[in-house]
Structure 1
Amino acid sequence: MAAAGLHYMFSLGNREPLVTAPFAEKGTRGWMRAWEQPRFRWQLGLGLTLGIILAFGMPHYFAFIEARVGKVLADPLLPHLPARDMSWTTFTIIYLCILLALIHLGRRPGAFVRVLWAYCIMHLIRIGTLWFAPLDPPTGLVLLHDPIVDTLFYPTNPITKDLFFSGHTATIMLLALGVRSQWLQRLLLLATVAIGFLVLVQHAHYTYDVVAAPFFAALSFWLAGKVVRK
């Protein structure tokens, strides 16, 4: 039932129009026509503002999360996986996927603004799930090293309790839901599976974090559709 529900949301997100004309036009002409609409300017401006606030606010929230005492969960899969540092492989895949998705979405203003809002909503949801599910990292954790985020936001304090749900897995799933190209969707969906597996090999997440991530990504994408249609 859960797999069927996710498949339905994935299909629905890619069949229905993201926004009505002129938001659905592509390229420079599409951006010019979309920018003429006050509704689009407000959606884009508010989405970017919220994204910036989250980018600079989340490190402070993660510092609070790190200071809490959490629970170590029994995991059905992790004891059978060797703990290895897969950071470079993980983030090479992540940033290549983000680059490809941004190139694609950059030509589609309607799709871009919906994914932007979905990403912000997803992080707002994560603030709630992290609050209500205080967890300590799994046994055998190998620290994930993000060459960009660690340098800009966490140069001295590694984050280990940013657990439920997996933001890395959810982000790539969100991009898979948002792009309009079938081959790129399939590539991003494969990358979602790969990232989920790699963070488990790293013991950076529980299996529950990874399994839940696509569902929260789908929920965020659906909610963003409601926002951009208002």
Structure 2
Amino acid sequence: MLVSSSPATTTPARPLTWSAARYHPAFRLRLLVVVLLLLGISYALPFFFAFIQARPGTVLPDPLLDALPARDVSAPTFEVIYLSIAVALVYLLPRPTLLLRALWAYALLHLLRVATLWLFPLEAPAHLLVLHDPVVERFFYASPTPITKDLFFSGHTATLALLSLAVGRSRLRQVLAVLTVVVATLVLIQHAHYTYDVLAAVPFAFGCYWLAGKVVKW
């Protein structure tokens, strides 16, 4: 049931179901725009990552990384990440209102990360072990060498933080919040990111989720 007679500007009195969402003009428009935006980002990212990998950057001091011995934890890292994504999607897919906000937040997160990577060129941390992502390496990195300079801020940590927000006030949020900390810890053990990259990921995720709420409001 809608709170106004104008279908293009109404706000649902309760979260939309898919049967209602498909007839809601504002929902359909925002869903179409974000899908196109994500497709555009997916197309452009390989070229952008190749660019930042070839560009010189700055090495940052990081006492925490210096104290941590580097270990290759790629396998558990991506097991946690992709399991979290799968569980979150199972929760979000029957809830189109939450899903739409999550998609917008994810798109905004990528745009913001492109901006920060452009503005803050960094060299990889000392003792870095390449974090091998079987999905991203295959579909998004257009480079003959591993991408190690996509640093500020940590996309893996931010994605998990974003998922914990996207599922709403459910018990699942607490589980995903814990898994966010797990992934943040693992990427530091891998020396795949500076500590600053990981710490910055959480407020950036919160900001994108908040902004997505403004974008999808109708």
> What TM-score does the superposition give when structure 2 sets the normalisation length?
0.92
Which letter does structure 2 place at the counterpart of 1:227?
V
Pairing of 1:161-180 with structure 2 (within 5 A): 161-180=149-168
Which letter does structure 2 place at the counterpart of 1:207?
T
> Which of 33, 42, 54 in structure 2 is aligned with 1:67?
54
CA distance in 1, matches of 2:69, 2:185: 12
Pairing of 1:1-230 with structure 2 (within 5 A): 20-21=11-12, 24-25=15-16, 30-154=17-141, 156-180=144-168, 182-230=170-218
CA distance in 2, matches of 1:160, 1:86: 16
Superposed CA RMSD: 1.4
Could you tell me which runs of 5 or more consecutive residues in structure 2 were left unpaired when the two chains were aligned.
Answer: 1-9
Q: Percent identity, aligned pairs only?
A: 51
CA distance in 2, matches of 1:48, 1:33: 19
CA distance in 1, matches of 2:80, 2:11: 33
Q: Runs of 4+ in structure 1 displaced over 4 angstroms? A: none
Indicate conservation of the 8 Å contact 2:162/2:205, yes or no: yes
Which letter does structure 2 place at the counterpart of 1:186?
Q
CA distance in 1, matches of 2:14, 2:216: 10
Query: Which structure has greater helix proportion?
Result: 1
For the residue of structure 2 that corresponds to 1:229, the secondary structure is coil
* Structure 1 position 218, deviation (Å): 0.2
Indicate conservation of the 8 Å contact 1:31/1:108, yes or no: yes
Do the aligned partners of residues 22 and 109 (structure 1) sit closer, same or farther apart at CA in structure 2, a change above 3 Å counting?
Answer: farther
Which letter does structure 2 place at the counterpart of 1:61?
F
* Structure 1 position 22, deviation (Å): 6.3
Do the aligned partners of residues 36 and 23 (structure 1) sit closer, same or farther apart at CA in structure 2, a change above 3 Å counting?
Answer: farther
Do the aligned partners of residues 22 and 41 (structure 1) sit closer, same or farther apart at CA in structure 2, a change above 3 Å counting?
Answer: farther
* Structure 1 position 67, deviation (Å): 1.0
Deviations 1:69-103 (A, max 9, x none): 00000002001111111101000000000000000
> What TM-score does the superposition give when structure 1 sets the normalisation length?
0.87
Indicate conservation of the 8 Å contact 2:49/2:141, yes or no: no
- Aligned residue-pair number: 208
CA distance in 2, matches of 1:49, 1:157: 29
Which letter does structure 1 place at the counterpart of 2:191?
H
Indicate conservation of the 8 Å contact 1:94/1:172, yes or no: yes
Could you tell me which runs of 5 or more consecutive residues in structure 1 were left unpaired when the two chains were aligned.
Answer: 1-18
Which letter does structure 1 place at the counterpart of 2:114?
I
CA distance in 1, matches of 2:203, 2:45: 22
* Structure 1 position 23, deviation (Å): 6.5
CA distance in 1, matches of 2:96, 2:211: 18
Indicate conservation of the 8 Å contact 1:23/1:110, yes or no: no
